[in-house]
Amino acid sequence: MRSTRQCFAVVCFVTISCFARAQFPDTPAGHQGAAWLQAFNSGDREKLHDFLLKNLPDRAAHMDQEMGFRAMTGGFDLKKVEESTPTKLIAILQERLSDQMGRLTVEVDAAEPHRLTNLDLSAIPRPAEFALPHMSESELIAALRKKLDEDSAEDRFSGAALVARNGKPVFSQAYGLADRERKVPNTLKTRFRIGSMNKMFTATSILQLAQAGKLGLDDPVGKYLTDYPNKDVATKVTIRQLLTHTGGTGDIFGPDFDAHRLELRTLQDYLKLYGNRAPQFEPGSRWEYSNYGFILLGAIIEKVSGQSYYDYVRECVYAPAGMSSSGSEPETEAVPERSIGYTRMGADGLHPNTETLPYRGTSAGGGYSTVEDLLKFANALEEHKLLNAEFTDLLTTGKVDARGARYAFGFQDQMINGTRCFGHGGGAPGMNGDLEICPGPAYVVAVLSNMDPPAASRVSNFVTNRLPEH
């Protein structure tokens, strides 16, 4: 599943407004940036369309996406101009509905009327100069409760949120509806689809097998998948590279997935569909998020353990952690208390995400869990119920740069306002979640939503940006 940390960059179409002392420069690029700000932040479809039609006609043809992004972000405020020439502007923006910040690049023609040639916004980690003030626990809980009340009232959040300190909840609350048609409310027992968060369970399973001496992290894929079709993947890509998204193994989503979505029932089905692909780059040379790499890890777990991926995770991760409400049963099976996901993607208005779901979750993502189960998983990791101290550290410590964070093995490891947190998010149409384990101040944050990204991740970020200092 797509990581929620990617989602912001996927829809990089934005504008800005003057905020505090920051102002657009008196240059052609600055004027165009300011004009775009006004059009985008107005929320006026016709006004934004007219501006894009004059400057970026290709973008004007995708107004649903533009307006969807406006609704998701609430617009942007200008925080700082980093670089300015007559024809180029680079600036830092603040999203109005979350703590997310972005870097805007505006480029214009040198000749009048100085039409836009490039307009791009990419999500960035919050710069230190814009660090948010730390709060006491009581202040943070009060602020979080206010935010969630507002977000749920505005239909920006539906789901459950949990904050724990020293392994015990200090805040837990559910909001919105698990089934809008039947008016079934979400509760702390509601099971939400978790997207890529499954990667944490897959990586934990691989490290368990490594700790037991049943596989080596630097072994090639072909040592275990002996009949793997593509020989370059089989001989050059290692388990370590799969765990860190540095193997070049690519994605599973796209036309092939769309055409065979409900036929892909086992991990072997994915291998048959994608197994002839060569690496997209020299294995180990760079980082690129790869859902297919985690499909391969699931297949290796099956080969080494002699069990299905699902049985292994249930017996060796869920059971010892006490996670009784997590799984990856097929979508055709009725799962008690599993919410319906609702998306605004692909059609007018909010609607169930049924037509986007795979047959079942995989080792790359798509299972379900509860916020209480995610806390149990975090506690089990920290109490070394799943791995010993050495392998827990190996699992969760960042290895490679990954868009502002460090990617470990199925976990992202990052500094958030001076606090180290590790975990993983997940997002796809009608689902979003995040787990952050912050060992210094001993907090765990788990948020799950049955709405599009960034419904849950913006709540998780709100908490981790303001955790008490330690």
Average pLDDT of the segment spanning 298-317:
98
Q: Is the pLDDT of residue 467 over 90?
A: yes
Q: What pLDDT shows up at residue 118?
A: 95
Average pLDDT of the segment spanning 329-333:
93
Q: What pLDDT shows up at residue 8?
A: 36
User: Where does the pLDDT of residue 345 fall: very low under 50, low under 70, confident under 90, or very high at 90 and above?
Assistant: confident
Distance CA 377, CA 5 (A): 21
180-210 pLDDT, tens digit each: 999 999 999 999 999 999 999 999 999 999 9
**Using an 8 Å Cβ cutoff, are 222 and 230 in contact?**
no
How high is the mean pLDDT of the chain? Answer: 93
Q: What pLDDT shows up at residue 21?
A: 62
Q: What pLDDT shows up at residue 12?
A: 34
Higher pLDDT pick, 36 / 6:
36
Residue 81's alpha-carbon distances to 22, 239, 258, in angstroms, are 7, 43, 42
Distance CA 148, CA 341 (A): 19
Alpha helices in 15-120 (DSSP H): 28-42, 45-55, 57-60, 63-73
User: Where does the pLDDT of residue 20 fall: very low under 50, low under 70, confident under 90, or very high at 90 and above?
Assistant: very low
Would you kindly state where each structural domain of the chain is located, as residue ranges?
4-130, 143-464
Q: Return the minimum-mean-pLDDT range out of 52-61, 113-122, 342-351.
A: 342-351
Q: Closest by alpha carbon to 428, among 291, 317, 260, 312?
A: 291
State the fold for domain 4-130. Nuclear Transport Factor 2; Chain: A, (3.10.450)
Percent of the chain with pLDDT over 90: 88
Q: Closest by alpha carbon to 247, among 218, 273, 214?
A: 218
| Structural class in CATH, domain 143-464 | alpha beta
User: Where does the pLDDT of residue 9 fall: very low under 50, low under 70, confident under 90, or very high at 90 and above?
Assistant: very low
239-261 pLDDT, tens digit each: 999 999 999 999 999 899 989 98
Structure tokens at 364: 């790359």
Q: What pLDDT shows up at residue 64?
A: 87
51-105 pLDDT, tens digit each: 999 999 999 999 988 998 998 899 999 999 999 999 999 999 999 999 999 999 9
Average pLDDT of the segment spanning 218-222:
98
Q: Closest by alpha carbon to 454, among 195, 115, 254, 174?
A: 195
387-443 pLDDT, tens digit each: 999 999 999 999 999 987 899 999 999 999 999 999 999 999 999 999 999 999 999
pTM exceeds 0.85: yes
Q: Is the pLDDT of residue 6 over 80?
A: no
Average pLDDT of the segment spanning 311-340:
96
Q: What pLDDT shows up at residue 347?
A: 64
Q: Is the pLDDT of residue 227 over 50?
A: yes
